[in-house]
Amino acid sequence: MRRVAESHAGQLAGMDHQLKSVGSLKEKLKQQMAVKNKTLEEAVAGVNDALRYSVVLDPQDFTAGLRGVLASLDDQGHVRVKLNNLFAKHQPAFKAVNVTMRSPEGALWEIQFHTPDTFRLKEQFHDLYKHSYALQLQGAPLTDQREVQAPAQDAFRLVPSPPECDDIDDWEEENVPALAMKAAAFKSQPNNRKDAAKFRAGVSSTPQV
């Protein structure tokens, strides 16, 4: 993954948090089951960030670099499942482009695209995000969650979007991504039971480095 990022003017960051901790995974599963009424197997199969990477790109290189990285991963057989452009959201407490990928073996993983400023703020507000997530898990009112997130919202409001970033649209699988350098060859849905078993065993596929 480092080689892919660097070939498109990007740098990997936050490698200490590349693998989600067991405690964090447990909290996420609790949240999915309590808030979204999922079964344990549904929650396990939907975990998309047990393995996650952060790619930092300079603003002027951001959009082209993101396209290039995703095209390279397409060539390796990693299928894009979902893209969420948080730069385009109204008053977010976090800015990045989050992309969920599916490995050739069917395991989900996540890549976040940042500018230097957004990655710095992400690290700065790490504890705030954990507090907000805990409130959500407890079923706290949205007003309480927003109050906790307010300092992050104020900080991210001052960070401009990279040039042409607004052209990157949200999408989910079965939509052909408009930002692709070439058409992606989407594969059929994997068996959720296999995904669940892989995550229970702690197995995550890794893109080539």
At residue 143, the pLDDT reads: 95
d(CA 203, CA 197): 9
Return the higher-pLDDT residue of 17 and 153: 153
Assess whether pLDDT exceeds 90 at residue 125: yes
Mean pLDDT of 70-98: 95
Return the higher-pLDDT residue of 111 and 190: 111
Q: What are the sequence ranges of the domains in the chain?
A: 2-173
**What mean pLDDT, rounded, does the chain reach?**
80
DSSP letters spanning 149-198? HHHHHHHHHTSPPPTTGGG---EETTSPPTT-SS---PPPPPPHHHHHHH
Confidence class of residue 16 from pLDDT cuts 50, 70 and 90? confident
Strand ranges of the sheet holding 10-13, from the earlier edge strand across to the other edge: 10-13, 52-57, 108-114, 97-102, 79-85, 171-172
Confidence class of residue 177 from pLDDT cuts 50, 70 and 90? very low
Assess whether pLDDT exceeds 50 at residue 92: yes
d(CA 100, CA 118): 19
Assess whether pLDDT exceeds 70 at residue 200: no
Pick the closest to residue 95 from 140, 129, 50 (CA basis).
129
At residue 175, the pLDDT reads: 46
Assess whether pLDDT exceeds 70 at residue 188: no
CATH number of the 2-173 domain: 3.30.460
- Give counts: helices (H), strands (E), the chain: 8, 6
At residue 71, the pLDDT reads: 97
DSSP letters spanning 123-145? HHTHHHHHHHHHHHHTT--HHHH
Query: What residues contact residue 143 under an 8 Å CB cut-off, 6+ apart?
Result: none
Assess whether pLDDT exceeds 80 at residue 190: no
Mean pLDDT of 57-62: 98
Confidence class of residue 203 from pLDDT cuts 50, 70 and 90? very low
User: What percentage of the chain exceeds 70 in pLDDT?
Assistant: 68
d(CA 13, CA 131): 23
d(CA 68, CA 54): 15
Confidence class of residue 183 from pLDDT cuts 50, 70 and 90? very low
C-beta separation of 18 from 53 below 8 A = yes
pTM across the whole model: 0.73
Place of tokens 């699988």: 173
At residue 34, the pLDDT reads: 65
Assess whether pLDDT exceeds 80 at residue 18: no
